[in-house]
A and B are shown apart, each in its own frame.
Chain A
Amino acid sequence: MAKYILKRLIHGLFSVIVVVGIVMILVYSLMNREQVFAMDPLFNKVSANRKITYKHERWEEYGYLDYVNYTEWLTAQVAAGELEEAVRSKVVNLGKDAESDSEAVAEYVKKFTDYYESQGYTVTRLNTVLAGKKRANGGEPQLFAAKDKPVLSRLVSYFGHFFQVDSVGSVKDYPGERGLTFTLYDPLYGGQKFSPAIIGSGTYHKYLLYCDNVFPYIHQNLLSINMGTSYSIERGAEITSTMGKRQGSYVLSEVTYPTGLTEMSADDLHTATYQAGSRESSVLYSSRFTDDYTNVSLFRSGMSRMGYSFMIGIISVALSYLIGIPMAIWMAQKKDKAVDKIGSVYVVFITAMPSLAYIFLVKAIGDRIGLPTTFNIEKYTFAMCVLPIISLALRPIGSQMRWLRRYMVDQQNADYVKFARSGGLSEREIFTEHIFKNAAIPIIHGIPGAVLFSLTGALITERVYVVPGVGGLLINAINAYDNAVIVGVTLFYAILSVISVILGDVLMSMVDPRITFSTKAR
């Protein structure tokens, strides 16, 4: 069994990687890459040559290509010790075109060009752009090399950076002594209260492991998943944080900073990450912190996008099974009677009608009886979730009723049912003990999928009721040409779907001992 699951997981992993590859081809190669600037406010402020280099810088940042600027290259040469600073400052200023370069500059330009052309880069020289007699804004001469990233290397680097382990060497030039301290008494709680924590120096996060009073109570920053960085949805934020970060207004509480300063603040000091030179540049930071772990996230009142989606989703999944299954049993027991007919009418309506139509119907009815129809994080009450939950549950209820009834009706003529009846079992016993157990097996297969996919949210429902959930993320990302988010969200969906199929099979074989996945011949 374990071997079989491992095999399935490897197959699943393979298909996940291929899916990400296909999506990368779709978004990076087929979509017009100029589109990424549609949402960029800075793009319209730069002009002339600067605009071209800006484009390349952004494209590099978001994974389209590798880009090296002449100036950067010289600085890197100095850092590597192959070039003297005096020489660098002499050759860094390009002439207004290739002919007017000084001899020294021309030599280094040739070196740069030769080196990068041999690596397969395209080297571009931009001459000075003049506006009248003066140089135009952003019209400085430029020299750079650029190379499109091939899909395969992009895929490898994406998965290579997927898991990020925070270690004592994470911060490149950490000034102090690197190391880990394990303490049973977290200094944030005054060093009195029992609360184990691992504190690092030289690591990216200050707290690698800590406890607090928020579910799941023990938190770690040791291993994080990096699915890419958003470009336009939430600029510069990691996709995992876009989905999992809490929303809403700040929750202030009394915070004692490492310097001993006590203030009303929403800072969550456990989330501190390293920010080089931050205390020098800000009086605020230097008054609060004793080291450069100053970048903290804030306590907020609402749940994360995924939190809202999952809460609504999981309740509606539970509701769909709690209502759908008894209804299906009832319908199967009273086959061709009134209950069955009414139920069938419901099933036909709910499966055939466009989901948008009945969601709006629910919204209109809900509005009439006075339930809130729009979501508001600031004034959150559970009543706001009622209509989204109902809207989401209606179709799964119909599908439970349809399929379970079908399976149960099919089982009713099976030989074992006739035998049970001849053995004198009551109809109720036959239904609950025998028919249901057999008919429920295909239903059970779908449970892990239903639960896991409530993490992805529901697009239409969330849009209609303005739920700040995760359901619209993919569509928003596509509309905003946010490639990294598209890839990240697709990866997330693909992983969920692989896991839910495997879990479904495992659960099915646990419930029904006749189903085995071992390769041994029976």
Chain B
Amino acid sequence: MENTIDLSKYDLSDEELFTVIKHDETESEKITAPRYSYWRSVFRVFFRKKINWIVLGILLVLLAFTYIYPMCVSFDRFANVRDETSKHLTPSAAMQKYGYTIHHILGTGASGEATFDAMWFGSRISLSLAIVCALINMFLGVLIGAFWGFSKKLDLVMTEVRNIIANVPYELLIAVLVLVLNRGFWTMVFALTVTGWLGVAYFIRTQVIIIRDREYNLASRCLGTPIGRIATKNILPFMTSVIVTYAALEIPSYIGFEVFLSYIGMGLSDLTLGRMISESQSAMLVPGWGFEFWSPVAVSAILSIVLFVVGQNLGDASDPRTHM
């Protein structure tokens, strides 16, 4: 009791020691907790890590080259196709021939095209395809997965549907669609998403089932909250981080998938990263021709890794438990 101050020794009356504070209606309405904004906290947590600044910087540079650079330069793949001396040049040989331009810092490819330019034009289509497919899949998958997780009747039907569709080889589906329609960008998007959402939906369904029967949702249902409101207000916010993490995997996986499809000869007819890789693979082991093969490989790898890391860390940051 050493800390207590003996007030009696100051010789003060009660009125001087205490004042009466009236009950204030307006003051009691004020909320005194610190301001909390979900998305601001997400970005605060995200940018707290130094590595995220670096990775985001790399991503912005890559995006600039992928989307802005092709707008600024004109590129015709077969412009030099008749000029035999322009083909398969090493960077130094290309520089000597064409002068010191940014186009030729990676040499030239099999039709005399500048590898550096071809790489970014290819990456624009590959990345666009990956992003469009991922967006469509995530949208459909989350929506359908939410219903799938909620309705037990739907679950029985959908699980069977999934067992069946998951076993139909997607290569076959793509081949048939390409034959029936054409070999264009939107055909490919359709072919990749027509069954692709199922995987996302199944993942979301499992997550929904885990959260669905938690006590707070039980309580919410007891209080008469409609199912739709439980889904959008109680469950979806809980899954933001899971969804962001999943989306982070989705885009790189589609980049890889596009590369794979082009390699087996089922890709787009346009110039993509995958097509560049599959067309130049014989150049891999020829001395001096390495750049035309390794540069699209490197771009696809770096783009995938950067997108993956950004997505993973954004997913971590969007988990409210890390916002403390």
A residues with CB within 8 A of B: 11-12, 15-16, 18-19, 22-23, 26-27, 30-32, 35, 348-349, 351-358, 360-361, 363-364, 367, 459-460, 463, 472, 474-475, 478-479, 486, 489-490, 493-494, 497-498
Contacts and interface: CB of A to CB of B under 8 A. Distances in A.
B249 A351 contact: yes
Contacts of A18: 164
B309 A348 contact: yes
B60 to A, nearest CB: 18
Contacts of A360: 281, 284, 293, 297
A19 B166 CA distance: 9
A463 to B, nearest CB: 8
B173 interface: yes
A494 B305 contact: no
A355 B168 contact: no
A493 B180 contact: no
B37 interface: no
Interface of B: 160, 163-164, 166-169, 171-173, 175-176, 179-180, 249, 252, 255-256, 259-260, 263-266, 274, 277, 281, 284-285, 293, 297-298, 300-301, 304-305, 307-309, 312
A459 B255 CA distance: 18
Given A22-B164, A27-B172, A459 B264 contact: yes
Contacts of A472: 264
B263 A493 contact: no
Residue in A19, A460, A489, A493 with the greatest tally of chain B CB atoms within 10 Å: A19
Given A352-B252, A355-B260, A15 B172 contact: no
Contact of A348 (B179, B265, B281, B308): B308
A360 to B, nearest CB: 6
Contact of B305 (A11, A32, A348): A348
Nearest to B265: A479
B301 A23 contact: no
Given A351-B308, A354-B301, A15 B281 contact: no
Contacts of A363: 284
B297 to A, nearest CB: 5
| Interface pairs A-B: 6 shortest CB-CB | A354-B256, A352-B308, A494-B167, A352-B304, A354-B259, A352-B305
Contacts of A352: 252, 301, 304-305, 307-309
Contacts of A355: 256, 260
Contact of A15 (B163, B171, B175): B163
Contacts of A30: 176, 179-180
- In terms of DSSP, what is the predominant structure of the interface of chain B? helix
B163 A357 contact: no
A98 to B, nearest CB: 38
A474 B300 CA distance: 26
A460 B305 contact: no
Contacts of B252: 351-352
B167 A19 contact: yes
A179 to B, nearest CB: 43
Contacts of A26: 168, 172-173, 176
A354 B176 contact: no
A392 B191 CA distance: 27
Given A23-B172, A478-B172, A353 B256 contact: yes
Given A356-B277, A460-B263, A16 B167 contact: yes
Contacts of A354: 255-256, 259-260, 297, 300-301, 304
B176 A474 contact: no
A460 B265 CA distance: 12
Residue in A15, A35, A363, A497 with the greatest tally of chain B CB atoms within 10 Å: A15
Nearest to A17: B164
Contacts of B173: 26
Contacts of B164: 15, 18-19, 22
20 contacts: A11-B163, A23-B172, A26-B173, A26-B176, A27-B176, A30-B176, A349-B305, A353-B256, A354-B259, A357-B277, A357-B297, A364-B284, A460-B263, A474-B171, A489-B169, A490-B167, A490-B168, A494-B167, A497-B167, A498-B167
A348 B252 CA distance: 11
Contact of A357 (B249, B300, B307): B300
B259 A478 contact: no
A30 B179 CA distance: 9
A357 B259 contact: yes
Contacts of B281: 360
Contacts of A35: 179
A472 B171 CA distance: 11
Contacts of A486: 172
A32 B160 CA distance: 30
Contacts of B169: 23, 474, 489-490, 493
B127 to A, nearest CB: 13
A349 B298 CA distance: 12
A478 B304 CA distance: 29
